[in-house]
Amino acid sequence: MARSGSFWAALVLGTALGAGATFAWLHEPPPDPGAGPTLAEQVEQLLGDIDTVTAERDGLRGELDAAGKREAAFTEAAAQRVKEMDAVIDKWRTQAAALQSKLEESASRLAVAESARDHLAAELTASQQEVAALQQNLAFFENLIPAGTKPGPVSIRSAQVEPDGAHLRYRVLIMRNGPSGDGRFKGSLRFMATGTRRGESATITLEPVASAPTSQAASERAAIPLEFQQYQRADGQLALPEDFVPESVTVRVLEGRKVLSEHAVGLTPKESSP
């Protein structure tokens, strides 16, 4: 719109100048050779200057239009590049978030694996300790089982009795020799000691050392309860009267009043102090 207005202004100006030049040429007196450029020559010169300025203006306007187009193209290209870079950044952010998620998942799995490893290590240690205890018990049983023991419903497979300070320490293994079925064996274990008392031979019933006083009868206190499916190990201390010197101890397994098995253990007499 501005370009169109300039065009019409130049056209009007040129028309006016042309008309003025024509009027001056028609009414101008004959030129004086020594008076300089005539009015017509001045108008012609001015029109030439106008044409020159107009041409320069059109050239500058063309350059300005070209520069505007280049600027628009650059702006468009820059906007497209920014858009592409934004897309790349978004893609990288998505990949970084995915990698972070995988890293956190891996860390969680590692923590679970370490916890499971520690748990398994603890279970392995406990199992090893249990196996060691079982092997120790097995070795104890194997050392206690004598050769050539006659089989019976229930028998004393081994018995050890030895002095333990003012008491006797006993360790006894009782086992069933046949199928146990569904029932459990219930009976009692008793100890009879033979030795000397006040210089005379004597046989007495030994009672287990009680941790607290009891109102039970002596026969009941002397009986150590047994109840097992296949075998039972009994160990503890037996009380000795101060005036009694034991020489041997007989271990008996009873079911009610019936003696099912017995085993005699000799004792090594204590050496007297000088």
Higher pLDDT, 122 or 183: 122
Label residue 260 exposed, middle or buried (CB < 10 Å: 0-12, 13-18, 19+): middle
The two beta strands, 244-255 and 185-197, are: antiparallel
Least confident of 46-55, 140-149, 170-179, 250-259: 140-149
* pLDDT of 172: 94
CATH number of 150-266: 2.60.40
Give yes or no for a contact between 157 and 177, defined as CB atoms under 8 angstroms apart: no
> 269 CB contacts (<8 Å, ≥6 apart)?
245, 247
- The residue extents of the domains of the chain are 11-20+36-144, 150-266
Q: Is the pLDDT of residue 273 over 50?
A: no
Would you give the DSSP letter of residue 145? P
Q: Is the pLDDT of residue 238 over 90?
A: yes
Return the H-helix or E-strand segment holding 66. helix 39-144
Mean pLDDT of 229-257: 91
Q: Which residue has the higher pLDDT, 210 or 86?
A: 86
Mean pLDDT score, 182-206: 90
Amino acid 57 reads R
Question: How far, in Å, CA of 72 to CA of 78, rounded?
Answer: 10
- pLDDT confidence of residue 274: 41
**Residue at 110: amino acid letter:** L
- Of the listed ranges 3-7, 27-31, 269-273, the least confidently predicted one is 269-273
Residue 221 confidence class, pLDDT cut points 50, 70, 90: confident
Rg (CA), the chain: 64
Residue 272: per-residue pLDDT: 44
Closest CA to 166 of 89, 272, 245: 245
Supply the pLDDT for residue 212: 44
**Average pLDDT for the chain:** 81
